[in-house]
Amino acid sequence: MFLIGILVVVAIVGELFHRLNPWKKPEPPYEELVQQIKQTDWYQELWQNEAYRPILENDPHVLAFYSGTYEAKRLLTNPGFQLGLIDYVKQQAEQKKR
Query: Where do the domains of the chain lie?
Result: 28-97
pTM equals 0.71
Residue 79 has pLDDT above 90, yes or no: yes
The whole-number pLDDT of residue 28 equals: 87
50-63 pLDDT per residue, tens: 999 999 989 999 98
Rounded Cα–Cα distance for residues 27 and 96 (Å): 38
Mean pLDDT of 79-86: 93
Alpha helices in the chain (DSSP H): 2-20, 30-38, 41-48, 53-58, 60-64, 69-77, 79-97
The whole-number pLDDT of residue 88 equals: 94
The whole-number pLDDT of residue 97 equals: 77
Task: Give the count of beta carbons closer than 10 Å to the beta carbon of residue 53.
Answer: 14
17-72 pLDDT per residue, tens: 888 887 877 888 999 999 999 999 999 999 999 999 999 989 999 989 889 999 99
